[in-house]
């Protein structure tokens, strides 16, 4: 399947199928897209993979997280080792690099995570506020 796509806004694209128009998800240059048919051969597509991650609870408040493709966060440097990070779902976090691959992230809803990059896109994270919600 061959596609011709034009960016509309952010990760939203208008795509035209140049041949076969069957399918809801298409791999385009390693990215994963969720697409809705507007009419024959014309689709509205949203890129998913830049912000998709998978987390598994290991024990209590300890999670193992893997960025499925790209990064699980979109981050910009505010000052020094302080970052502002936004997830796919629109939640904003303030993250501080403590040392090496260890990060402390908090958001406006009082959630706090301590994360360590293990290798590549694999992270080990601890929910520091889990006991407060039990």
pLDDT tens column, 92-130: 778 888 877 788 878 767 778 887 777 666 677 777 776
Please indicate, yes or no, whether residues 37 and 103 belong to a single structural domain of this protein: no
Name the percent of the chain lying above pLDDT 90: 0
Closest CA to 126 of 72, 80, 59: 59
Q: Which of 85, 90, 106 is nearest to 10 (CA)?
A: 90
pLDDT digits over 42-90, tens only?
A: 777 666 544 445 566 666 656 666 555 445 566 777 777 787 777 655 6
Tell whether 21 and 43 lie within a shared domain: yes
Same domain, 82 and 125: yes
Note down the domain range covering 22.
Answer: 3-47
Q: What is the DSSP letter of 26?
A: E
Q: Verify that 37 and 63 share a domain, yes or no.
A: no
- Residue 133 pLDDT grade (very low, low, confident, very high; cuts 50, 70, 90): very low
Q: Is the domain of 28 the same as that of 64?
A: no
Give per-residue burial for 9-33: e unless 16+ CB within 10 Å, then b: eebebebebeeebeeeebebeeebb
What's the confidence (pLDDT) of residue 105?
79
């Amino acid at each position: 399947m061959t596609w011709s796509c034009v960016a509309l806004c952010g990760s939203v694209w208008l795509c035209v199928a140049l041949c076969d128009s069957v399918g809801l998800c298409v791999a385009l240059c390693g990215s994963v897209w969720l697409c809705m048919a507007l009419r024959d051969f014309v689709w509205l597509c949203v890129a998913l993979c830049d912000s998709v991650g998978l987390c598994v609870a290991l024990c209590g408040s300890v999670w193992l997280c893997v960025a499925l493709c790209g990064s699980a966060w979109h981050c910009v440097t505010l000052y020094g080792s302080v970052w502002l990070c936004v997830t796919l779902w629109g939640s904003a976090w303030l993250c501080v690099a403590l040392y090496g691959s260890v990060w402390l992230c908090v958001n406006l809803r009082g959630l706090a995570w301590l994360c360590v990059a293990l290798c590549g896109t694999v992270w080990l994270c601890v929910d520091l506020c889990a006991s407060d919600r039990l």
